[in-house]
Chain A
Amino acid sequence: DAKTTQPPSMDCAEGRAANLPCNHSTISGNEYVYWYRQIHSQGPQYIIHGLKNNETNEMASLIITEDRKSSTLILPHATLRDTAVYYCIVRVGDSNYQLIWGAGTKLIIKP
């Protein structure tokens, strides 16, 4: 299973766009990129996922490079409530049981 690499921490000013990078250089053709976040010690919350194309929903945008070796999660107008640990995960096909969770990126939104 492909593994991901994320920076351990990032800061972003409130109201600005937060761009969180993720490297997944060994990703295979049928592996999806998923993003979750965890606020304090609550249960992780699903944000967005994609396979090849860029995706956008009410929470965020996901930009996947053409070679699929990296991606960026974009929170367009970060608020203090977006302070959390963000996890980038690759998933093989339909299998939730094969997820590999790294340490994620601690995103701190500063006023």
Chain B
Amino acid sequence: EAQVTQNPRYLITVTGKKLTVTCSQNMNHEYMSWYRQDPGLGLRQIYYSMNVEVTDKGDVPEGYKVSRKEKRNFPLILESPSPNQTSLYFCASSLGKSPLHFGNGTRLTVT
């Protein structure tokens, strides 16, 4: 089944403890991106990747890192999480002009 898989689905952590949210897609998509969603707001793009080893900042990249060492994986790294990064995170991928496919989300709480 074609899908975008994020892990974990829920994560509670403390300020400053490094964490990684994984994202994997099995559709051979070149494009992948990370979004965060906060209450009452639309999705805001954190980082995106047009292909392997090609990444770029979105609208809200501060406090986040990403890597794209292979086509299927696009992990989101929070080196030193802070409470203002408490949010719902989505990974998405697409092929060429096609619409985005989204993962089921990761709800992160930073205390």
Contacts and interface: CB of A to CB of B under 8 A. Distances in A.
A45 interface: yes
Interface stretch (B12-20, B41-49, B71-79): B41-49
B67 interface: no
A43 B42 contact: no
B3 to A, nearest CB: 10
Interface residues of A, number: 19
A106 to B, nearest CB: 10
Contacts of B90: 43-44
Q: At the interface, is chain A mostly helix, strand, loop or mixed?
A: loop
B99 A49 contact: yes
A59 B4 CA distance: 21
A97 B102 contact: no
B96 A97 contact: no
A43 B45 contact: no
B45 A99 contact: yes
Interface in B62-88: 88
A97 B48 contact: yes
Interface of A: 34, 36, 41-46, 49, 87, 94, 96-97, 99-104
